[in-house]
Amino acid sequence: MWPDAVTRLSRHALTMFPPPFKAKVVEPISLRSPEARRSALADAGYNTFLLRSEDVFIDLLTDSGTSAVSQEQRAAMELGDEAYAGSRSFFRLEQAVRDLYGFRHVIPTHQGRGAEHLLARLLVRPGQLVPSNLYFTTSRAHVELAGGVWVDVAVPEACDPTDAHPFKGNIDLPALVRVLREAERDGIAFVRQEACVNMAGGQPFSIANLRAVRAVTREQGVPLILDATRISENAVFIKDREPGWNDEPLPALIRAIAAESDGAIFSSKKDHFVPIGGVLAVNDDRLAERARELVVVYEGFPHYGGLAGHDMEALAQGIRESADERTVRHYVGQVAYLGRLLADAGVPIVVPVGAHGVFLDAKRFLPQIPQEQFPAQALAAAVYLAGGVRSMERGIVSGQHGEEPYDGLELVRLTLPRRVYGEEHLRYVAETIISLLDHAEKIPGLRMAYAPEYLRFFQARFEPLAPFPDPATWATVRGATAPRRRSARAEGRSRPRAADRRRTSA
């Protein structure tokens, strides 16, 4: 049992409780000079994905594959069985997935999108719909490459950064029912519900909502597939926010969530603490058989699916650690702490603070930049210039669909790797961003100079429409926790939502 006092601290995040681990191996990091950051950013085409990590001081680009492995994971890696077929490491991984999540069939993949690819090829036929709570970039891309049509059925609160709804990862049931009823016979490939919806700020769903979705999909004979990449944090939010679940042990709750679905994909690079790996897990025998037929074409033999034996050992151990409540609580507590530092200083962020990062609301931070000039991309560039902190755009660059107009969320994600940074790092990050508030009106918009055909945000290049202010003159660090007047930027609401919601009337 986690002592009460500690639970309280993690919930009311201005004092963090100590992490349930300590460092044994460290990696040096250093802050480049303002001039060096300017030139690194220009070389990267003002896209933080294209920065070299040696030019980054605090790397909050992603929690994907960037967490610290445990000593138990490292020890397990020594046991890696690199047999091409029948590897002992595969069977240990299979057991770990079955034990925690209860799925019968386990197909390893090189990472999450490998599992998404298999799933889309297995379940999606041209013209079929995939209703989902919002979207994720790679998930949607694979569905569309298979000829499917993505349909957003998230609750409307998901796209309002100022709405403190506790379960913004819920599916809008009337909208889902409408889509299912209006679809042609056999017109739905599957329904997808993502734990801690990434694009809305890491927002959880409730068990009640998942169960209702399950009932509706069962009635219609449509598979319900979880994106369970961040299921552990979702389970902790359920414990804290949904009546009746507070005393449930975390592993039992995670299993109860998984039991409401027909299958799941995992990017194991997040909750499972591994640098690489993913899983497709299903209950249906025939679907699993077909997945094993396909995995040999795209990933490798079904007993490794693109992973080395030592990767599967680290993953099996990581799965067990992902259900450790102290570890998960510490992580969401860290994210909440950073959110609190920023919100208290008047920085406009998405509320409630979600699972894996604090999301800045660029529409309120930089109201002078119209969305066609990529305010979140510009803000991510400015955050790097200000203090060597790397973040990620989650706005029009990531979310616009082809040439369709986009006026949806415009966010910058400050994502925390698991078990990596400490309180001093978080305070530095907060101070860097708070220092930007005073210079926000000088940050210029951008022009996109190059956009690749698929998932453009990864490799697009930009040019500033006016010079960025000189970071040497703006990085006045103030106390991150010093009381500060709430800025007008923090008070304003951002524009209503979202032409990116692709409801169908078919």
| Residue ranges binding ligand P61 (CB under 6 A) | 62, 64, 111-113, 136-139, 194, 198, 227, 229, 267, 269, 278, 392, 398
Question: For tokens 């998404």, what's the residue?
Answer: 116
- DSSP track, 30-85: -PPPHHHHHHHHHHTTT-GGGS-GGG-SEE-S-SSS-SPPPHHHHHHHTT----SS
**Chain centroid, CA 371 distance in Å:** 22
> Which residue, 417 or 444, is less far from ligand P61 as judged by CB?
417
- Using alpha carbons, select from 396, 382, 389, 473 the residue that is nearest to residue 436: 382
Q: Contact 280/294 with Cβ under 8 angstroms? A: no
Tokens linked to 314? 């680290």
Query: Is 190 a catalytic site residue?
Result: no
Closest approach of ligand P61 to the CB of residue 357, in Å: 8
Of 191 and 434, which has the nearer Cβ to ligand P61?
A: 191
Q: Is 270 considered catalytic here?
A: yes
Nearest approach in angstroms of CB 419 to ligand P61 is 17
Which of 17, 57, 103, 136 is an active site residue?
Answer: 136
User: Measured from the CB of residue 300, what is the shortest distance to ligand P61 in angstroms?
Assistant: 16
Return the amino acid letter for 358: V
Nearer to ligand P61, 278 or 444 (CB): 278
Residue 222 vs 226, nearer CB to ligand P61? 226
DSSP percent split of the chain into helix, strand, coil, nearest 5: 45, 10, 45
How far apart CA 472 and CA 470 sit, in angstroms, is 5
Q: What is the smallest separation between the CB atom of 354 and ligand P61, expressed in angstroms? A: 12
Catalytic residue among 160, 172, 227, 500: 227
Q: Is residue 376 a contact partner of residue 392, using CB atoms and an 8 Å limit? A: no
Catalytic residue among 331, 421, 428, 457: 457
- Helix 375-387 and helix 34-43, axial crossing angle in degrees, nearest 10: 150
136 is catalytic: yes
In the complex with ligand P61, the residue whose CB is nearer, 353 or 475, is 353
Q: Is 421 a catalytic residue?
A: no
Instruction: Identify whether 137 is a catalytic site residue.
Output: yes
Hey, what are 325's tokens?
A: 């409540």
> What is the closest distance, in whole angstroms, from the C-beta atom of residue 198 to ligand P61 in the complex?
4
Catalytic residue among 270, 364, 419, 501: 270
Nearest distance from C-beta of residue 383 to ligand P61, angstroms: 16
How many C-beta neighbours within 10 Å does residue 244 have? Answer: 10
Q: Which residues pair with 463 in a beta bridge?
A: 447
C-alpha of 410 from chain center = 15
CB-based closest residue to ligand P61: 112
Q: Among this protein's residues, is 501 annotated catalytic?
A: no
**What is d(CA 362, CA 382) in angstroms, rounded to the nearest whole number?**
11
Please say which residue, 188 or 264, places its beta carbon nearer to ligand P61: 264
Q: Say how far residue 260 (Cα) sits from the centre of its chain.
A: 21
What residues contact residue 18 under an 8 Å CB cut-off, 6+ apart?
A: none
Shortest reach from residue 278's CB to ligand P61, in Å: 5
Set 8, 15, 43, 84: catalytic member: 84
Q: Which of 34/202 has CB closer to ligand P61?
A: 202
Angle at 174 between CA 221 and CA 196, to 5 degrees: 80
- List the end-to-end C-alpha distance of the chain, in Å, as a whole number: 50
Active-site position among 7, 137, 415, 432: 137
Q: What is the CA radius of gyration of the chain?
A: 22
Residue 339 CB, shortest distance to ligand P61, in Å, is: 17
Q: Is 394 a catalytic residue?
A: yes
Q: Which is nearer to ligand P61, 192 or 303 (CB)?
A: 192
Report yes or no: 459 and 377 within 8 Å, Cβ to Cβ: no
Measured from the CB atom, the residue of 51 and 183 that comes closer to ligand P61 is 51
Question: Secondary structure of 341-372 in the HEC alphabet?
Answer: HHHHCCCCECCCCCCCEEEEEHHHHCCCCCHH
Helix (H) or strand (E) holding 227: strand 224-227
**Considering only CA atoms, which of 354, 314, 325 is closest in space to residue 200?**
354
CB of 267 to ligand P61, least distance (A): 3
Q: Which residues are catalytic?
A: 84, 136-137, 227, 270, 394, 457
